[in-house]
Structure 1
Amino acid sequence: MQDRVTTAREAALFFRDGMVVATSGTGVSGFPREVFRALAERIQNGDPLRIDLLSSGPLGPEIEDALAEVGGIRRRIGSVGSKLLRQAINRGEVGFIEGKTGKVCQYARRGYYGKIDVAVIEAAGINEEGQVIPGTCVYDAPDWVQLASAVILEINLRRPPGMEGMHDIYYPKPGRCIPLNDPLERIGSPYIPVDSAKVKYIVFSDREDRDIPSSPPGENALRIAKNMEAFLTQERGRQGELPPLEVGFGDALNAFLSLLARSDFSSLIFYLGVASDPLLDLIDAGKVKGICCSALRFSGSALHRFCSRLEHYRPYFIFRPAYRRGGGVL
């Protein structure tokens, strides 16, 4: 597929007014920057078009606000993560269909959002068989690659090649339960399969992720964290062993994870949407058996730490798609 390698500016010329465009990522990382940046520049330079932007999770302002500012979004499907897009929706300038992670892909497969014209996906690379090597975020990328009529791949050169093999890509069968019996079990492939005929362009990106400002937890967050630790201690005494923990992110939850790193808990299993900074401390403290997540939500320093010590952290992580939070997992 070397003949598909091109610039973001050329790839942006592929878009047409009214297209349904699917992408994936978190509010901080994992989403393709260069292609959407070039699309916003194309619109700003006098080539007006509006797309339906489909992604179950919130995306960063590098996509949402950049396109909203130039009037490039007709309809946002999924959830919203950026200020300017949220304001445009509230003013009635952009349509909005809310969809939760784990549900949006199901609805897309049933045709609720119409035909998906193109999927724009960030990746760490492409293997010799032409399969996509995911990076720090999976979420709904496998579904969009399968459902879209065309695919644009953005290879992020900041994603370490050593991430190959850390993913578990499984496509649920309609109406069937997902045969996942343990968060650390593998039931799929490390790669996202893609029909090479669909791949229209391959673009390279070399931009750092936007850093997440961090601050010490306040008194209330610490009190909440201590109550959560006390609850888990009580449950361990009652059950003998803790089940996998699903933890979100934020000051209180980060404080809770930091307390666990200094506790006597061990062999903890986490079943998460996104993994945050304190999990690296927990691994280094010998408290973690494994982490199943869909994406990383690290600060700049934590991401550098993860990438520079990848061989150390690699055995603890399994990245899975958005079905992880769907009703098919029992």
Structure 2
Amino acid sequence: MNYPEMTAEEAARLIKNDYVVGIGGFSSVGVPKAVPAAIAKYAIEEHEAGRPFQIGLITGGATGPAVDTELPLAHAVKFRTPFQSNANMRKAINSGEVQYFDCHLSMIGQDVYYGFLGKMDVAIVEASEILPDGNFIATTSVGIVPDLVAHADKIIIELNAAHGDRLKGMHDIYLPEMPPYRKPFMITHPGDRIGTIDVKVDPKKVIAVVHTNLRDNQAGFKPLDDDTRAIGAHVSNFLVSELKRGGIPKEFLPLQSGVGNVANAVIGALGDNPDVPAFSMFTEVIQNSVIDLILKGRCNYVTGSSLSLTDDALDVMYSHMDVFGQRLLLRSQEITNHPECIRRLGIIALNTALEADIFGNVNSTHVMGTKMMNGIGGSADFARNAFLSIFTTPSLAKGGAISSIVPMVTHTDSSEHSVRILVTEQGVADLRGKSPSQRARLIIENCAHPDYKQLLWDYLKLSEGKGLHTPHSLKNAFKMHIAYEETGDMRNAKFEL
């Protein structure tokens, strides 16, 4: 297929002020890199000439620096959805410059289809190969790329030579029908294929192909500290105990893991535990630890929406394609995060929290209830529908000045009805079948840091025994947060009788 070719700078000038632009990629990989960076430079030129230039951004999730660093620094973004994880975009969101819609990742494709986010003018996506019929092979992620190219008026493709043809056959691209015509997803095992290896494209929409040769350059993980190791060990030991008592089938169940250092450590700890059988994964993000576990025979199969790997780990995968070609599959997030698949497969979901309250509600997104951190991502997609939903968090933040276990979360992303297990480096609270008072006692005793246990016991005693199903004290519920804002330390909280 002979699509028009041009430079990134030429392609950037096809983007106009007020356009809604879809950007491919997921968890900062498989993201177009050259054209977004060129759009940022073009925006600066337009602003210097006294002309307005801002666009709306719809992505699959977190992108790379070309999108979420360069564009906000150029003041070129007016709207952004969904998940992001970049300090510059976060600053623009919290200042009010960028209007941010935090959406469940499983829903964003459907929202695009129905136009809830506005008409999409242009989709910019990354491909590793353009096929003779005009369709293309995606790179290290799928995200919502099939949705973007299906519903955008125009398409710009970055053809990235960095991956060669090594990713061909690693994708399962399936675009669901919309209600009421949607059919069941015929997935009963993480490796079941229901789609095609390529992304379908209407050739008439493609207005530019830009050649690149750029790796994703994912940052490495921080060295594990004692708290992270302890959280991983607690999760691993808990799942082994559930396995032994029959609470998990002897075959084990597929795992989902969130992003970041703690999630990577938890998966590594599970793989290293000889009492945990070799397992499969049905997840969003495939991180470094999974590559190692597959080579060790500890992970049988993994399906996800992105290969969020450092360059070294990606090279390891590429050097063992005889193994990974049979044990790894990339899908769109509309499938990996879909409630139907999560519930049918019986996923054990492992996600992280910013804070949790003593009754089991989780805040994943808002610092002190007001400042956006990253977004809800897919954690609630999995938490609400999983066989077993586990949330992890270190019990302390800011050197001990903040307790991650609080009387009441300042923002609720996953409620007590979705949070089954809570884990900190202090221990595990199994909240299943427990009343609010019972949950509070378990969480304080097993998960709170010793520096805050007495403070939390004091809070609970304020309202217990007063005929309340959930013993909250409304005038004291946020005293710990207020103490931090006023004094810099939650330990200075004073409750009113």
TM bracket, shorter-chain basis: over 0.9
Q: Distance in 2 between matches of 1:52 and 1:116?
A: 9
Instruction: Give the equivalent residue in structure 1 for 2:494.
Output: none
Identity of aligned pairs, percent? 28
Match of 1:258 among 258, 268, 273: 268
Q: Distance in 2 between matches of 1:192 and 1:198?
A: 14
Letter of the aligned partner of 2:286 in structure 1?
A: A
Counterpart mapping for 1:221-232 below 5 A: 221-232=228-239
227-236 vs 145-154, which moves further:
227-236
1:289 is the counterpart of 2:300: yes
RMSD: 1.7
3-state DSSP class of the match of 2:257? coil
3-state DSSP class of the match of 1:63? helix
For 1:236-287, what per-residue CA distance to the aligned partner results, in whole angstroms no more than 9, with x for missing partners?
3322111111112333332232233433344411011010111111111111
1:188 is the counterpart of 2:200: no
Q: Distance in 2 between matches of 1:64 and 1:202?
A: 22
Give yes or no for contact 1:24–1:31 (8 Å, CA) kept in 2: yes
Q: Distance in 2 between matches of 1:153 and 1:326?
A: 27
Tell me: CA distance 1:19–1:290, structure 2 relative to 1, closer, same or farther (3 Å): same
Counterpart mapping for 1:128-277 below 5 A: 128-175=132-179, 176=182, 177-237=184-244, 238=246, 239-264=249-274, 265-277=276-288
Q: CA deviation at 1:22?
A: 0.5
Instruction: Give the equivalent residue in structure 1 for 2:402.
Output: none
Match of 1:327 among 336, 339, 352: 339
Instruction: Give the equivalent residue in structure 1 for 2:102.
Output: 98
Taking structure 2 as the reference length, the TM-score comes to 0.64
3-state DSSP class of the match of 1:246? strand
Instruction: Give the equivalent residue in structure 2 for 1:28.
Output: 28
114-123 vs 257-266, which moves further:
257-266
The runs of 5 or more residues in structure 1 that have no matched partner are none
3-state DSSP class of the match of 1:46? helix
Give yes or no for contact 2:278–2:298 (8 Å, CA) kept in 1: yes
Instruction: Give the equivalent residue in structure 2 for 1:81.
Output: 85
Give yes or no for contact 2:271–2:299 (8 Å, CA) kept in 1: no
Give yes or no for contact 1:235–1:242 (8 Å, CA) kept in 2: no
Give yes or no for contact 2:257–2:263 (8 Å, CA) kept in 1: yes
Give yes or no for contact 2:33–2:64 (8 Å, CA) kept in 1: no
Q: RCO (CA 8 Å, sep 6+): is it higher in 1 or 2?
A: 1
Give yes or no for contact 2:284–2:304 (8 Å, CA) kept in 1: yes
Q: CA deviation at 1:159?
A: 1.7
Letter of the aligned partner of 1:215 in structure 2?
A: K
Q: CA deviation at 1:208?
A: 2.6
Q: CA deviation at 1:304?
A: 2.0
Instruction: Give the equivalent residue in structure 2 for 1:279.
Output: 290
Number of equivalenced pairs? 330
Letter of the aligned partner of 1:63 in structure 2?
A: V
The runs of 5 or more residues in structure 2 that have no matched partner are 345-497
Q: Distance in 1 between matches of 2:38 and 2:164?
A: 24
Taking structure 1 as the reference length, the TM-score comes to 0.94
3-state DSSP class of the match of 2:117? coil
3-state DSSP class of the match of 1:138? coil
